[in-house]
Amino acid sequence: MLSSLQKANLYLNMFGFFQVPFIWLARPKLIKLNQQLVEVKIPLKRRTKNHLNSMYFGVLAVGADVAGGFLAMSKAQDQGAKISLAFKGVTGEFLKRPEADVHFTCTDGELIDAMLEETMETGERINQTVTILATCPTLSNDEVMAKFTLTLSIKKIPKKL
């Protein structure tokens, strides 16, 4: 029997393969997933690194996207709700070269809960900023390599009659 984390990784792989192939190509893996946070790891390999042997900034954006969106998707699924999810804005600060596997962490679970509650009550699109920190634990423990702020936009999908 699969654990909840294994099921979530299977879902992420299938979503990437069938819906957003670039996610699948980056091979993200969920390391932690709970009500408060999600941690996603993307390995530094030939297809994810640049000419400087650090993670390509496009792949860093994929990691931020997965970390910022997966928590909302997971929480909506847990509630049996269907939502439309998109990102309306992104800001990235690249602080150090990530020369190892990168972990992307989003700890905005409570904010996402509030967003889901509001869209379920009102049916309106809700936009809030979530923060994702990228670290390389094998290089420098918790030192932040990059910081992303994404404007997460979610809306309840009405049930069909």
Q: What is the pTM of this model?
A: 0.95
Assign 67 to helix, strand or coil.
Answer: helix
Element housing 11 (H / E): helix 4-18
Q: Looking at residue 79, which CATH number applies to its domain?
A: 3.10.129.10
Q: What is the pLDDT of residue 26?
A: 96
- What lies within 8 Å, CB to CB, of 121 at 6+ separation is none
Q: What is the pLDDT of residue 40?
A: 98
Domain count, the chain: 1
- What lies within 8 Å, CB to CB, of 80 at 6+ separation is none
* Within-domain flag for 59: yes
Contact status, residue 132 vs residue 145, Cβ threshold 8 Å:
no
Report, as ranges of residue numbers, the positions in the chain whose pLDDT lies below 70.
161
Domain with 33, as residue range(s), is 29-156
pLDDT in tens, 15-30: 999 999 999 999 999 9
* Within-domain flag for 19: no
* Within-domain flag for 62: yes
Q: What is the pLDDT of residue 29?
A: 98
